Amino acid sequence: MMTNKVEICGVNTSKLPVLKNEEMRKLFRQMHQGEEKAREKLVNGNLRLVLSVIQRFTNRGEYVDDLFQVGCIGLLKAIDNFDLEQNVKFSTYAVPMIIGEIRRYLRDNNPIRVSRSLRDIAYKALQVRDSLVNKHSREPAISEIANVLKIPQEDIIFALDAIQEPISLFEPIYHDGGDPIFVMDQIGDDKHVDTSWLEDISVREALRRLNYREKLILTLRFFEGKTQMEVADEIGISQAQVSRLEKAALVHMQKYV
């Protein structure tokens, strides 16, 4: 009988163990007593957690093996720093650390090069931000971070913006009724587009063949620069319906243009 065998970094993912909560707590106690094998079992027993996290980043063109290795570093940090006395599940504690490690890796390997000085300011700002969150249990203002670092607020904002990862306009945000909503669907245009193309006879003929609601949607979207969400609010339907009607109207118009 054949099994689905998928190997990442030489690890057969179909055979990864799964630890129950009580088993993990026992292993943590053993690890804190100095048993190295307990730490190894905790790592192996949580590799599926790393796999589940890296699924969020597989559409970025990075090698899965590389993401898995980086995620394992985050897992090791989580295991070494986890406090049994806190009433928190290990997975709840570990996932943000794994994600953080992967994001740091992606920032450092960003094809858009950012100067070392900017990265240093940004990473220091993020460290101070985490420290202030832990201290005050709230999100700090940029001015608070600037006061700690003795750096102008503008420099911190610029540095943090510089390390943000670019995303594709065609990256789906969510699916609703089977139709994906893309980033570009959420972007409005404050400037009216050039209306000269409206004078083209074929386009005007195509617009005449649309029903009132289709014409209204295309007018609001492409001539007034509104987002699909804004259009949906204005005419009283869901964003998914706006998306479907918009696409159908454009396809219908293509027959006459």
pLDDT tens for 119-139 read 788 888 888 888 888 888 888
Contact 154, 162 (CB under 8 A): no
Tell me if 7-108 shares its fold with 116-162: no
CB atoms within 10 A of CB 18: 10
204 in Cβ contact with 257 (< 8 Å): no
Residue 195 has pLDDT above 60, yes or no: no
pLDDT digits (tens, 9 = 90+) for 71-91: 899 999 989 888 888 777 888
pLDDT band at 147 (very low <50, low <70, confident <90, very high): very high
Mean pLDDT of 42-59: 84
CB-based contacts of 6: which residues, under 8 Å, 6+ apart? 12, 13, 14
- Which of 203, 238, 240 minimizes the C-alpha distance to 219? 203
Domain ranges of the chain: 7-108, 116-162, 172-254
Class of domain 7-108: mainly alpha
Protein fold of 116-162: Arc Repressor Mutant, subunit A (1.10.10)
Average the pLDDT over 99-116 and give the result: 73
Structure confidence at residue 148 (pLDDT)? 93
CATH architecture of the domain with residue range 172-254: Orthogonal Bundle (1.10)
Mean pLDDT of the region 212-238: 83
Most confident of 96-100, 103-107, 169-173: 96-100
Q: What integer is the mean pLDDT of 51-76?
A: 83
> What Å distances lie between residue 174 and 60, 181, 239, CA to CA?
17, 6, 11
Average pLDDT, the chain: 76
Does pLDDT of 65 surpass 90?
no
